[in-house]
Structure 1
């Protein structure tokens, strides 16, 4: 399943800071339809995402009925992304056979 959306960068301040892209509700609804065919446990969904030409693998985090796309430091820092930035994301969810 291929998806494209724009979303804001959020910072979660726990013991160490983490950054995510918030996935819009309409896209979360599409993800929810295939979640059972994609998840490998705990509700996380493996994806390949591309932001500004940089492609990376990660897993979506379920949050309050929606999903967050984690931003790895190796992606976020070279692209200069910070909290509040809005980014265009292309994302592929691999469905289990």
Structure 2
């Protein structure tokens, strides 16, 4: 299964170095419904992600119980794609095959 969506890149806290995009709630619910195995630690879900020309494997993490998932966007991707806090990006995610 795979999905494509647009989301705003945001810094976790004003002084943090972690950046994320938040999946829409409806899409987060679809991801949960598509799982064929229990989630990993902290409710994480392994995915393969593409933003622009960058593709990498990572995990989605739930933002609270039943809330939307957030997706970390690492620094090398932000640099390669020229994106920063507040930019809207097109994201493609696919569940990682076990």
Q: What is the TM-score when the length of structure 1 is the normalising length?
A: 0.86
**Which ranges in structure 2 are unaligned for 5 or more consecutive residues?**
none
Q: What is the root-mean-square deviation in Å for CA atoms of aligned residues?
A: 1.9
- Alpha-carbon distance change, 92 to 17 in structure 1, aligned in 2, over 3 angstroms: same
Distance 2:74 2:38 in 1: 21
**How is 1:1-97 mapped onto 2 (pairs within 5 angstroms)?**
1-13=1-13, 16-35=16-35, 37=37, 39-64=39-64, 65-94=67-96, 96=98
Q: What is the TM-score when the length of structure 2 is the normalising length?
A: 0.85
Q: Tell me which stretches of 4 or more aligned residues in structure 1 moved more than 6 Å.
A: none
Q: Is the 8 A contact 1:49 1:56 kept in 2?
A: yes
Q: Shift in Å at residue 81 of structure 1?
A: 1.0
Select the structure that is richer in strand: 1
- Alpha-carbon distance change, 86 to 15 in structure 1, aligned in 2, over 3 angstroms: closer
Distance 1:67 1:36 in 2: 17
**Which ranges in structure 1 are unaligned for 5 or more consecutive residues?**
none
